[in-house]
Structure 1
Amino acid sequence: MRRTETLAMMPRKLYLGPLTDSRRWDKVTLRPDDILVVTPPKCGTTWAQTIVALLLSGDPQIETQLSVKMPWVDIRFREIDEVAARLEAMAHRRSMKSHTPMDGIPFHPEAQYICVFRHPLDAHFSYRNHIRNSPLRWFDHWFPEDDPDGITFRRFLDGGAEGYDTDVMPLAHILRHYKAARARADRSNVTLLHYADMTRDLAGIFAQLARVLDTPHAEDLMAQLIAVARFDNMQQNAERFAPSGGQGFFKSDRAFFESGSSGKWQGQLSEAELAAYDAMMDAHLSAEDRAWLEFGSQQ
């Protein structure tokens, strides 16, 4: 039996949190030309989705409308039958989003999987800001406004990869995402990207994904698409590019993009907290894997 067939037949892990449910994927029938953007939260999901939308359309003016056109299948906010029916009715090439690790979603041997990662500490601090900007109050006890005892970071280190903790993105969940993606990274339909590389060389990322997705464009048009996807442009036009932008869901669409910087955790953690983080990373990853997960291709 070929390995692609084995992966497709393997039982999927269940990721069931208050916000997401990986069983919703049971209602979606994947197609060979589908594109799935699979990431932990705040690691460049919207950025990658925007790049995919631009490459598929070849239109710098496209209104991405990610929540509707490229839906987050896992999230419970919309009835899954409605989401599945909308996806099934799409005659064009489809793209979807997931915050479930690769071992919890269907694996199609021809569909393309784009897995995006970021330094776990940057993702964590970005997620803190995201929680403040969200109207959802479910996770306030994980992210207290006043936190002199470091509860938030302690739970980041102690939280599990599954169950309720799935939706608050503890380090264990990020590591599960990474290991599940890396286990499939030898497949031609699985691409691992890093936020730091997207920041350093956006043109290179566009060229890589254009090859992977077979969406070539003339050089002058590609330059226009790249300009649209630059972080500062997306931030300045947040109502256009944020998920559900312009609909009043977030307190601030612009704050959804916050800063896009790396190293925002520096100076924010004690020596003991950093030592605990280092110990967990070293216990679960090789030196090579840790270097890539934290800093991308130019570690």
Structure 2
Amino acid sequence: MKNRKLYLGPLTDNRRWDMVRIRPDDVFVVTPPKCGTTWMQTIVSLLFSGDPEVETELSVKMPWVDIRIREMPEVAERLEAMQHRRSMKSHTPMDGLPLDDQAQYICVFRHPLDAHFSFRKHVRNIPMTWFDTWYPENDEEGITFRRFLDGGAEGFDTDAMPLAHIIRHYKAAAAVSDRPNVSLFHYADMTRDSRGTIFRLADILGTTHSEAVMDQLVQAATFDNMKDKAERYAPSGGKGFFKSDAEFFHSGTSGKWRGKLTAEELADYDAVMDAHLDPKDREWLEYGYWGNVAA
């Protein structure tokens, strides 16, 4: 671990990265959950291959190293055996990852409230009862949102994705964003200009394809296409891990929290955000480079 922070939760352990030998052309997709991780991984896979019909198989070919579902020696051996350019996924903040001088780190963020409400849907679609205490199905007392605001950035709370963890993610990424191999993306910008996103990422990764191929890749990476072919694009798609692969791509919209929180809940959220982020950072974390164009 050396100088890295420890992120050890019920599902994840960032010490597992100690078994990965990083290569100079590796690509890390680093995000809080439900912020466009799978979307970004899919774009990376499409750009690597240049094939709009590529079988992404993200959970195997671009593994989530932090999660303890698979034994780490097996994951490390599989990664070491790969002859092609590799990409790996992490939900660990940048201050808990090995920071190589040449590998690329693609950090993706989303409005914290959108990520939270998307996570609410997500936990109903996975066979893990651990989340039930944080995300009860019948939540008339608002337990879920209180824990979202009160949870800690690390330790047992980590995997339940509280607001503190999202803020930690952003601050850790922003702290190293001046490095040429660390790039920040925002879900809202990806939605507004998916074509521009893909071309920007192609430039970062140094991948080159013809205009015709790029057009095909842009179409393949649309939300509707990924949802229609959910067994291909969902992590572990077609293997029965999710109750519904299509439901993994529930809506892909922003602002889904509007009208679902009380004035008091919104005020409490504002207080936490304002206490930890200056106005410029808060606006970017919520709305991306384009800002709150809907305001």
Q: TM-score range by the shorter chain?
A: over 0.9
User: Which residue identity lines up with residue 107 of structure 1 in the other structure?
Assistant: L
Counterparts in 2 of 1:256-267, with a 5 A limit?
256-267=248-259
Task: State the alpha-carbon separation in 1 of the partners of residues 204 and 257 from structure 2.
Answer: 33
* Aligned CA-pair RMSD: 0.8
Match of 2:244 in 1: 252
1:294 maps to which of 282, 286, 291:
286
Q: TM-score, normalised by structure 1?
A: 0.96
1:155 maps to which of 138, 141, 147:
147
Match of 1:5 in 2: none
Match of 1:84 in 2: 76
1:131 aligns with 2:113: no
Deviation track 1:39-71 (CA, whole Å, cap 9, x = no partner) reads 000000000000000001111110000000000
1:14–1:289 distance in 2 versus 1, CA, 3 Å: same
Task: State the alpha-carbon separation in 2 of the partners of residues 284 and 213 from structure 1.
Answer: 32
Deviation track 1:194-215 (CA, whole Å, cap 9, x = no partner) reads 0001100011001110110000
1:189 aligns with 2:181: yes
1:210 aligns with 2:220: no
Task: State the alpha-carbon separation in 2 of the partners of residues 283 and 256 from structure 1.
Answer: 33
CA drift at 1:145: 1.0
Match of 2:158 in 1: 166
Q: Percent of counterpart pairs with the same letter?
A: 70
Deviation track 1:267-299 (CA, whole Å, cap 9, x = no partner) reads 000000000000110111111100010001111
Listed as ranges, the gaps of 5+ residues in structure 1 are 1-8
Task: State the alpha-carbon separation in 2 of the partners of residues 205 and 214 from structure 1.
Answer: 14
2:33 maps to which of 37, 41, 48:
41
| SS of match in other structure, 1:33 | coil
CA drift at 1:149: 1.0
Match of 1:19 in 2: 11
User: Which residue identity lines up with residue 160 of structure 1 in the other structure?
Assistant: G
User: Which residue identity lines up with residue 146 of structure 1 in the other structure?
Assistant: N
1:222 maps to which of 187, 198, 214:
214
Match of 1:70 in 2: 62
Listed as ranges, the gaps of 5+ residues in structure 2 are none
CA drift at 1:10: 6.5
User: Which residue identity lines up with residue 286 of structure 2 in the other structure?
Assistant: E
Task: State the alpha-carbon separation in 1 of the partners of residues 180 and 214 from structure 2.
Answer: 24
Task: State the alpha-carbon separation in 1 of the partners of residues 172 and 5 from structure 2.
Answer: 11
User: Which residue identity lines up with residue 285 of structure 2 in the other structure?
Assistant: L
2:135 maps to which of 137, 143, 152:
143
Task: State the alpha-carbon separation in 2 of the partners of residues 211 and 14 from structure 1.
Answer: 33
CA drift at 1:232: 0.8
Match of 1:178 in 2: 170
Task: State the alpha-carbon separation in 1 of the partners of residues 52 and 59 from structure 2.
Answer: 19
CA drift at 1:182: 0.3
Q: Which aligned runs of 4 or more in structure 1 are off by greater than 3 angstroms? A: none
| Count of residue pairs brought into register by the alignment | 291
User: Which residue identity lines up with residue 29 of structure 1 in the other structure?
Assistant: R
Deviation track 1:172-204 (CA, whole Å, cap 9, x = no partner) reads 000000000000101110010000011000110
Match of 2:86 in 1: 94
User: Which residue identity lines up with residue 140 of structure 1 in the other structure?
Assistant: D
Q: TM-score, normalised by structure 2?
A: 0.98
Match of 2:262 in 1: 270
